[in-house]
C-alpha cells in the first residue's frame, strides 16, 4: 500500500487540478485578508481583525476542490486503464481503494492548510497574531479536517464505483452543488427551532431530530457549523469518522466485487 500511496503522491505533484486548488485556496485567503486590510483604513470597526475566521475560510474551497479533484484524479485511473497495472502486479482492490482515499484526503487537507499558511503569514503581518479562544479554533480546525475526510470518503466512493471519468467527475460536482445549495435551507429549518420561525411554514417538531441529525452528519451542514454558529460542535468529528467509515466499508465492499474493464 505504501507503494501505491507513493505513486499517487507522484501523480499529485504533477496534477494541474491539485496545483490550481492550492493556488485558489491561497489566493482566496490572501484576497480576503487584503480586502479587510484595505477596509481597516476606512472603517476600522467593521474589520474582522481576529484571524479565527480566516483560518476557517478555506474549508469551503477545499470541499469544492474535493468534488472536482476526486472525479478527475481517480477517474484517470479508469480512463487511462492504469488501475489494471496495479491489479495485475498483485495489489489487492482494498489496498487500491484505501490508497486512493488517503490520497484524496491528503490533497484536500493540503489545499486547506495552504490557505491556513497564508493566513498565518499574511494575517499575522497585517492584523497581528490576534486569535480568540485558540482552543476552540483548534477544535474547529480539527473538525474541519475530519469533515474534509468525510468529503473524501463520499467522493472516493462515487469515483471508484463509476468507471467513466466524465460521469464520475460530473456526479461528484453535481452532488456537491446540490448539497451546497441545500445546506442553507437545512440550516434555516434547524435554526427555526432555536431562534423562532423564520420560515413561512416552520417544520414540525417530529422531524426535528432528523433535520438536526442531517445538519450535523452531512459534511455541508458541518461546514456551516464549523465556520459559523454551531449547534453540536463536539458531535461533528464523531459523525465525520462514522461517515468516513461507512463510505469506505460500502465502497470497498462494492469495489472488490466490481467487474473492471
The binder of other proteins chosen from 30, 68, 91, 182 (CB under 8 A): 91
Count each helix (H run) and each strand (E run) in the chain, helices first: 12, 0
Name which of 10 and 210 has its Cβ closer to other proteins.
10
Any contact of residue 68 with other proteins (CB under 8 A)? no
Contact (CB, 8 A) for 71 and 172: yes
Taking each helix axis as running N to C, give the angle between helix 165-195 and helix 59-79, from 0 to 180 degrees, rounded to the nearest 10: 160
Min separation Cβ 85 and other proteins, Å: 5
Any contact of residue 13 with other proteins (CB under 8 A)? no
Contact (CB, 8 A) for 256 and 191: no
Name which of 229 and 260 has its Cβ closer to other proteins.
260
Contact (CB, 8 A) for 261 and 163: yes
- How many residues line the site for other proteins (CB under 8 A)? 25
Q: Segment near other proteins (CB under 8 A), from 10-18, 178-186, 213-221, 228-236?
A: 10-18
Query: Using CB atoms within 10 A of its CB, is residue 203 exposed (0-12), middle (13-18) or buried (19+)?
Result: middle
Min separation Cβ 105 and other proteins, Å: 20
Any contact of residue 76 with other proteins (CB under 8 A)? yes
84 Cα distance to chain centroid: 29
- The site map against other proteins for 220-259 (x = CB under 8 A) is -------------------------------------x-x
**What does each C-alpha distance from 10 to 18, 50, 103 come to in angstroms?**
12, 37, 11
C-alpha cell at 76: 484517470
Min separation Cβ 227 and other proteins, Å: 34
Any contact of residue 87 with other proteins (CB under 8 A)? yes
Considering just the CA atoms, what is the radius of gyration of the chain in Å?
20
The binder of other proteins chosen from 44, 45, 90, 200 (CB under 8 A): 90
| Contacts to other proteins by CB under 8 A | 3-4, 6-7, 10-11, 14, 76, 80-92, 257, 259-261
Amino acid at each position: 500500500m505504501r507503494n501505491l500511496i507513493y505513486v499517487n503522491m507522484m501523480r499529485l505533484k504533477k496534477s494541474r487540478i491539485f496545483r490550481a486548488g492550492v493556488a485558489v485556496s491561497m489566493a482566496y485567503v490572501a484576497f480576503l485578508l487584503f480586502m479587510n486590510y484595505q477596509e481597516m483604513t476606512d472603517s476600522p470597526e467593521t474589520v474582522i481583525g481576529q484571524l479565527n475566521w480566516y483560518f476557517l475560510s478555506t474549508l469551503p474551497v477545499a470541499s469544492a476542490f474535493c468534488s472536482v479533484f476526486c472525479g478527475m484524479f481517480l477517474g484517470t485511473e479508469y480512463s487511462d486503464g492504469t488501475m489494471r497495472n496495479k491489479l495485475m502486479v498483485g495489489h489487492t482492490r482494498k489496498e487500491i481503494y484505501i490508497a486512493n482515499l488517503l490520497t484524496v484526503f491528503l490533497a484536500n487537507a493540503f489545499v486547506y492548510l495552504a490557505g491556513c499558511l497564508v493566513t498565518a503569514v499574511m494575517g499575522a503581518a497585517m492584523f497581528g497574531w490576534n486569535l480568540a479562544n485558540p482552543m476552540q479554533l483548534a477544535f474547529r480546525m480539527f473538525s474541519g479536517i475530519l469533515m474534509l475526510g468525510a468529503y473524501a470518503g463520499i467522493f472516493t466512493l462515487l469515483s471508484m464505483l463509476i468507471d467513466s471519468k466524465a460521469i464520475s467527475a460530473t456526479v461528484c460536482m453535481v452532488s456537491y452543488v446540490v448539497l451546497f445549495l441545500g445546506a442553507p435551507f437545512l440550516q434555516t429549518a434547524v435554526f427555526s427551532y432555536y431562534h423562532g420561525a423564520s420560515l413561512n411554514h416552520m417544520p414540525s417538531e417530529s422531524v426535528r431530530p432528523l433535520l438536526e441529525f442531517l445538519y450535523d452528519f452531512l459534511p455541508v451542514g458541518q461546514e456551516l457549523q464549523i465556520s459559523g454558529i454551531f449547534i453540536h460542535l463536539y458531535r461533528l468529528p464523531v459523525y465525520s469518522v462514522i461517515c468516513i467509515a461507512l463510505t469506505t466499508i460500502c465502497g470497498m465492499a462494492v469495489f472488490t466485487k466490481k467487474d473492471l474493464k
